[in-house]
Structure 1
Amino acid sequence: MRKEIALVGCGMGTPDTLTVEGKCRITQAEVLIGPERLVRPYADSKKEIWVQYQAEQIREIIDQSPRQRFAVLLSGDTGFYSNTRNLEKALEGYHTAVIPGISSLAYFSAKIGIPWEDAFILSLHGRKQSLATAVRKHSKVFVLTGEDAAEHLQGLTEAGFGSCGLWIGENLSYPEERISSGQVRDFLDKEFQSLCVLMILSEHAEGKTIREGKTCVGIPEEAFIRGNVPMTKPEIRAVVMSKLALKETDIVYDIGAGTGSVSVEMAMAADRGKVYAIECKPEAVELIKKNAEHFGLRNLAVVDGMAPEVLEGLPVPDAAFIGGSKGRVAAILTRLFRQNPQMQVVLDAIALETVTEVLTICTQMQLQMDIVQVQVSKTHVAGSYHMLTGQNPVFIITVRKFPEL
């Protein structure tokens, strides 16, 4: 007989949240393998039980066992932030059956009476994604978190979302299950259990105008922490971001990041990726760090130094913005396109000499260019009239390699 392995989603963890098929597979199994809290209910059974969740070690247990029927117990649903994919890869060659379970999202939503079909789903277990960005973009956010939930809620409050509605579920399905609700700011000093989920509702938030807080492109200057470091204007940032056309998983460089205004918008756009703000001025470095914290961005890292040297060791970028180069445009572009020939690079320039320099470099390097000149005028009040004041024209240059024929 060949060995049969069932990967069983165990719901919240207690046998009560198992599906009928899940119960049958566990009953039929000779060997149960899984985390301690999932195998504990079967400790008095006559089954062989292993406390293990690492895929490779589970493979070893099955390889060495003379038994034929195995059930590997997984938390929640097999397709919802579970270990299923790693196990299927580790158990290649064996006959495996995946038995779905009830996810914490489905269970919790039923408990609090809020549908989850329109919720944005986020896991912060071992991930550096930004909860503030998710709340900024979505009116309903479900979060898998843990004991560090208070830290995430503190970041939300600092980013202006302390008045959002909040539901908290801890130890779901267990006798000590606890469900709480209120506003985000009500739970900053609370201690959370390791089994914890959140549902955050920004739709009816009070206090700071939630629509202002949700702005992700062309963020007003007054929203940033300012210093004596130049800042890219909101309208220019909006055009730059449109040229970068970032995906949510992109790795992005902001070279010569200044106050970090472009870095912040990049981090919001690439919220499942990572942004590296490259800056060599000490005051600017500190401002970027403060603005990253101010906007609750965990996927924005500051790199203190000068490009291209400090790019050594960073992950390969998908895109880059060069707001300041210290006369090193050629060296920076060479380095970037060596790292990723398919990437897109956007530069901005005010001086005609800078535009001429970039044109010359791109021609020599045989790079494809697209140049846009943006002129912004803003209103100001003069007596009973509203007048327009023109700002410096800015050249926005998009650079990429010519596609190979």
Structure 2
Amino acid sequence: MITVVGIGADGWAGLAAGSREAVAAAEVLVGSARQLELVPASEAERVPLPSPLLPALPGLLAAHEGRKVCVLASGDPMFFGIGSTLARLLGAGALRVLPHVSSLSLACARLGWPVEKVTAVSLLGRPLAALAAELRPGARVLVLGPDGDAPAAVAGLLTARGYGASTLTVLSGLGSPEEARLSGTAATWPATPAAALNVTAVECVPDPGTRPLARVPGLPDDAFDHDGQLTKRDVRAVTLSRLAPLPGELLWDVGAGAGSIAIEWMRTHPACAAVAVESHPARCARIRRNADTLGVPALRLVEGRAPGALAGLPAPDAVFVGGGATTPGVLETSWAALRPGGRLVVNAVTLESEATLAHWHAAHGGDLTRLSVQHASPIGGFTGWRTSMPVTVWSATKGDIS
């Protein structure tokens, strides 16, 4: 059993009696150099956390198997902390976790913000672009920064995304005698580094003319950088309704084009994941830019042609084929890879691909739908309807058909 003890910036004085007892009883104390300095001297062997952490952590734990190991963590170990990592590696039954007050709770206490109405974004080992998905008028976001440069980086992203009017409050040294607070707007934030231990609180205010982007499917087409290979807004919304994303599920977006389906899938919930498969190098570059701009930098990009590029990918909960339905093996490979209960959705715009979907529908069932979208546009001095190319959508759930 490994004990994980959360410790705050107030150090030993802020620990509860049970946490002090666990630290004092340890034969091996594991933590960062700063955390190890916060606890009094003892006979325990002190082991600094390795960097990079994940590759070295299993070996570190194996080297001390059979001894009383206590791992020190900042604040609540299960809040973007090492407790979560250890639980994934060892299982919850191998851990005893003694949490301290999290930086989220401390920051909300200082600001008077209800914890349940705040979104937290950690930049510890994660890209700054992840913050972009949380920007909307009135949102309150707490950003956990890895260093003193984080507040200025946050301010820069907000300003670039049209939220320069947002209020920033940087709380540093929370819980320590050196606790400090600095406020300003993103657009006017100084480049001067803050203290290394900081939380940046953001109250989102859009600049005039900024268009907020919803989390529900169907973003405007111009929200994406594309070369025309894009599932258009109205069809995209219908397609995602058929794909039916649930938190924690994985999507394959095959023939991803601009990546719009994969990106909007991931925007529905932070736990949703996606793999975009695209053979065109320039389009792959666009997918990466779109993913960063729209706040889902964790989108996995595979450059290659299906079905070969699908080999070795983790089993999906849903697959969207937006291009290549007539390529031999693409639909067969996608269907075979789906988990039970998974959804396959295929869009077709040509007679050849439509015939392929008609064949699959006749042989296996599912739902076949044809979409025809008309948009009002100028005709001389008047307004008329212009019809977009019809799109045929075949969708099926594994287990519902043979």
Fold equivalence (TM over 0.5): yes
Counterpart of 1:172 (choices 156, 171, 174) is 174
CA distance in 2 between counterparts of 1:326 and 1:373 reads 16
Structure 1 residues 91-170: aligned runs within 5 Å: 98-127=97-126, 130-136=130-136, 139-147=139-147, 149=150, 150-151=152-153, 154-170=156-172
- On the 8 A contact 2:215/2:267 being kept in 1, the answer is no
For residues 63-100 of structure 1, the C-alpha deviation after alignment (integer angstroms, 9 at most, x for no partner) is 247xxxx7543320243233335657759998x75433
- On the 8 A contact 1:244/1:345 being kept in 2, the answer is yes
Match of 2:53 in 1: none
- On the 8 A contact 1:371/1:396 being kept in 2, the answer is yes
For residues 333-364 of structure 1, the C-alpha deviation after alignment (integer angstroms, 9 at most, x for no partner) is 22123323432121112234422222214545
Match of 1:319 in 2: 318
In structure 2, give the amino acid aligned to 1:312.
A
- On the 8 A contact 1:13/1:173 being kept in 2, the answer is yes
Unaligned ranges ≥5, structure 1: none
In structure 2, give the amino acid aligned to 1:143.
V
The answer to whether 1:339 aligns with 2:337 is yes
Structure 1 residues 3-402: aligned runs within 5 Å: 7-12=4-9, 14-19=11-16, 21-23=18-20, 26=23, 29=25, 31=27, 33-35=29-31, 36-43=33-40, 45-53=41-49, 54=57, 57=60, 61=64, 63-64=66-67, 72-84=71-83, 98-127=97-126, 130-136=130-136, 139-147=139-147, 149=150, 150-151=152-153, 154-174=156-176, 176-187=178-189, 189-191=191-193, 194-202=196-204, 204-209=205-210, 212-214=212-214, 216-227=216-227, 229-325=228-324, 327-328=326-327, 330-342=328-340, 343-361=342-360, 363-364=362-363, 367-381=364-378, 386-402=383-399
How far is the alpha carbon of 1:380 from its aligned partner?
A: 2.7
Closer, same or farther: CA 15–354 of 1 in aligned 2, 3 Å: same
How far is the alpha carbon of 1:170 from its aligned partner?
A: 3.1
TM-score (norm: length of structure 2): 0.81
How far is the alpha carbon of 1:372 from its aligned partner?
A: 1.7
The residue matched to 1:42 in structure 2 has which SS? coil
How far is the alpha carbon of 1:184 from its aligned partner?
A: 3.3
The residue matched to 1:161 in structure 2 has which SS? coil
Closer, same or farther: CA 314–176 of 1 in aligned 2, 3 Å: farther
- On the 8 A contact 2:366/2:401 being kept in 1, the answer is no
CA distance in 2 between counterparts of 1:341 and 1:109 reads 41
In structure 2, give the amino acid aligned to 1:232.
T
CA distance in 2 between counterparts of 1:143 and 1:398 reads 39
How far is the alpha carbon of 1:398 from its aligned partner?
A: 0.8
In structure 1, give the amino acid aligned to 2:14.
T
In structure 1, give the amino acid aligned to 2:66.
D
- On the 8 A contact 2:335/2:344 being kept in 1, the answer is no
How far is the alpha carbon of 1:140 from its aligned partner?
A: 2.0
Closer, same or farther: CA 182–216 of 1 in aligned 2, 3 Å: farther
How far is the alpha carbon of 1:252 from its aligned partner?
A: 1.8
- On the 8 A contact 2:371/2:390 being kept in 1, the answer is yes
The CA RMSD measured in Å over matched residues stands at 3.6
Structure 1 range deviating more: 368-377 or 129-138: 129-138
For residues 30-59 of structure 1, the C-alpha deviation after alignment (integer angstroms, 9 at most, x for no partner) is 65723132231334x455352345576457
- On the 8 A contact 1:375/1:390 being kept in 2, the answer is yes
Closer, same or farther: CA 395–192 of 1 in aligned 2, 3 Å: farther
Q: How many residue pairs get matched?
A: 389
In structure 2, give the amino acid aligned to 1:132.
A
Unaligned ranges ≥5, structure 2: 50-56
The residue matched to 1:63 in structure 2 has which SS? coil
- On the 8 A contact 2:326/2:356 being kept in 1, the answer is no
The residue matched to 2:124 in structure 1 has which SS? coil
TM-score (norm: length of structure 1): 0.80
